[in-house]
Amino acid sequence: MSDQQDGGEAADKKGGFLRGYFQMTLWKRVLIGLVLGVAAGLILRAAFGPDAASAFATTWIKPFGDLFIQLIRMLIVPLIFTTLAAGVMAIGHPSKLGSIGAKAIGLYMITTLFAVTIGIFMGAIFRPGAGVDFTGVTPNEIATDAPTMVERLIAIVPANPFNALASGDILAVIFFAILVGVAILMLRDKGKAVGDVIQGGADIMMAITGWVMELAPIGVFALITWVTADKGLATFTSVALLAAAVYLGCILHIVLVYGGLVRFVLGLPAVRFFRGIFDAQAVAYSTSSSSATLPVTISNARKNLGIDPAVAGSVLPLGATVNMDGTSLYLGVLALFAAQAFGIDLSMADYFIIALTATLTSIGTAGIPSASLFLLATVLGAIGATPEQTALMVGFLLPFDRPLDMMRTLTNVTGDAAVATAVAKSEDEMDEEIFRKVTVV
C-alpha cells in the first residue's frame, strides 16, 4: 500500500471521527467534556499538587470557560424578551383569552406557584449547596438599605423599557415583554407586523443559542477542569443532593398537585389519568421537549382522557408554550442552592421574590435548550447574586442538566394534560366514559 493511500485512509478515519462526534447529540458531547474535564483536573492535581494545578488551570484553561459563560450572558436579555413576548402571542386568537384561555392560563399559573414553592421547600430540606464554595469569596450579606418588598414590586414596572433592556433589569424586561405580547394579540392585524418581527427575533435568538450551545462541550471541559483542579472531587458530592431534591420535588408535585386536582377537585380517578398519559410521559422523559411530545399528548388526551378535540387542540399547545412547572420547581431549588453556596441570607421577602420571578421567567422557556440555566440569572439576580456567581452556577450545572431536564419535561407535560382535563371538565367538553374506561398501562 502506498504512502498516499495510507494518508488517505488516515484522513478518512479522522473525518469519520469528527463526523461521528458532531452527529452525536449535544448532551452526550457535554458529558464527554465533563468526564474529560474531571480527568484533566485530577491529573493536574496529581502531577503538580493542588496549588500549582489551581494556578495553571485558572490561568490557561478557565478563560475558555469564561468565554463560553460570557456568550451565555450575552443572550439572556434578548432571549427572554423575544421568547416571552412570542409565547404570549402563541395563544393565537383573542377569543382564546376568553373562558377556555382564562381558565387554562389561571390554572397554569396556580400550578406553577405550587411548583416553585415545592422547589424552595426541597432546597431548604436537602440543602444541596451547603458547604459548596465555588469562588472562595466572602459570604454575601443583605445590605441594610436594601429596598423593601413593595419597592421591589414597583420596580418591576420599568420607567424606561429601553433602559431596562440595556441595563439587564430582567424583571422589568419580563413585565414589558408580557405587555407587548398581549397588546399584539389584542390588536390582531394591526399588530401583526410587529408580532412577526418579534417572532423572527425569537427564532434568531434561538438559532444563536444553538450555535453557542455547540461550544458547550469546550466550555464545560474548561470549567470542570478548573473546578476539579482547584477543589478536587468534593464539589461534585452536591450534585447528588441536587438531583434528589429535583426528582423528589417533581414527583411530589405530580402526585400531590396534579393528582390532587384530578381526584379531589374534578372528582375523577387519578390512577386512570396517569395511565392515560403514560405514553406522553415516556416521550417527554426521553426527548426533554414538550413541543416534540405535543402530538402524543394531544392523542392521549383525546383517546384516553376523552377530552374534546377543540379543548385539547387549544389548551395543550398553550401549555407546551407557557406551562413550565418543572422549570419553576428547578429554579426554586437552584435559588436555594446558590444562596447556600454563596452565603446569601434570604428573608421572607426574598422567598416571595424567588417564587414570583421563577413563575414569570418560566413562561419564556419554551423551545430553548437548557432553558432553566439561561433563566437562572433572573432568579439569582433578584436575590442579590453577582453576575460572576451566576456564571459559575451555570458552568457548574450545565453538564448535569440533561437528566434533570428530562424529569422537568415529564412534569411539564403531565401538567399540560391535568390542566386540559380540568378545563374540559369545567366546560362540559369531556367524555367521562372514555376517561373512566381507559386501560392504558
> pLDDT of 274-293, one tens digit each?
999 988 888 788 667 776 67
pLDDT one-digit tens code per residue, 72-83: 778 778 877 887
- Choose from 23-27, 123-127, 248-252, 399-403 the range with maximum mean pLDDT: 248-252
Q: Using CA of residue 221, residue 227, residue 233, residue 234, what is the dihedral sign?
A: negative
Q: Does residue 384 sit in helix, strand or coil?
A: coil
Indicate the average pLDDT of the chain: 79
How far apart are alpha carbons 376 and 371 in whole angstroms?
9
Neighbouring residues of 94: CB distance < 8 A, sequence distance ≥ 6: 185, 186, 188
Q: What is the pLDDT of residue 98?
A: 64
> Is the whole model's pTM more than 0.75, yes or no?
no
Comparing 121-135, 237-251, 326-340, which segment has the lowest mean pLDDT? Answer: 121-135
Q: Does residue 142 sit in helix, strand or coil?
A: coil
Asked whether the predicted pLDDT for residue 11 surpasses 60, the reply is no
Asked whether the predicted pLDDT for residue 375 surpasses 80, the reply is no
pLDDT band at 251 (very low <50, low <70, confident <90, very high): very high
Q: What is the pLDDT of residue 144?
A: 38
Asked whether the predicted pLDDT for residue 333 surpasses 80, the reply is yes
Q: Which of 13, 76, 93 is nearest to 377 (CA)?
A: 76
201-210: average pLDDT: 81
Q: What angle do CA 31, 35, 40 make, to 5 degrees?
A: 140
- 430 DSSP assignment: B
How far apart are alpha carbons 277 and 123 in whole angstroms?
29
How far apart are alpha carbons 211 and 229 in whole angstroms?
28
Contact between residue 100 and residue 426 where contact means Cβ atoms under 8 Å apart: no
pLDDT band at 359 (very low <50, low <70, confident <90, very high): confident
388-392: average pLDDT: 73
The domain 25-437 is placed in CATH, from the list 1.10.3860.10, 1.10.3210.10, 3.90.1150.10, 3.20.20.10, at 1.10.3860.10
Comparing 16-20, 258-262, 322-326, 414-418, which segment has the lowest mean pLDDT? Answer: 16-20
**Exposed/middle/buried for residue 309 (C-beta within 10 Å: 0-12, 13-18, 19+):** exposed
How far apart are alpha carbons 148 and 163 in whole angstroms?
22
pLDDT one-digit tens code per residue, 211-240: 877 887 888 888 888 878 887 776 666 678
Residue with cell 421572607: 348
Name the residue ranges covered by the structural domains of the chain: 25-437
**Exposed/middle/buried for residue 292 (C-beta within 10 Å: 0-12, 13-18, 19+):** middle
pLDDT one-digit tens code per residue, 292-321: 677 788 888 888 999 888 778 777 877 776
Q: Where are the beta strands (DSSP E) in 278-340?
A: none
As a whole number of angstroms, the longest Cα–Cα distance in the chain is 80
Comparing 49-63, 89-103, 267-281, 394-408, which segment has the lowest mean pLDDT? Answer: 89-103
Q: Does residue 307 sit in helix, strand or coil?
A: strand
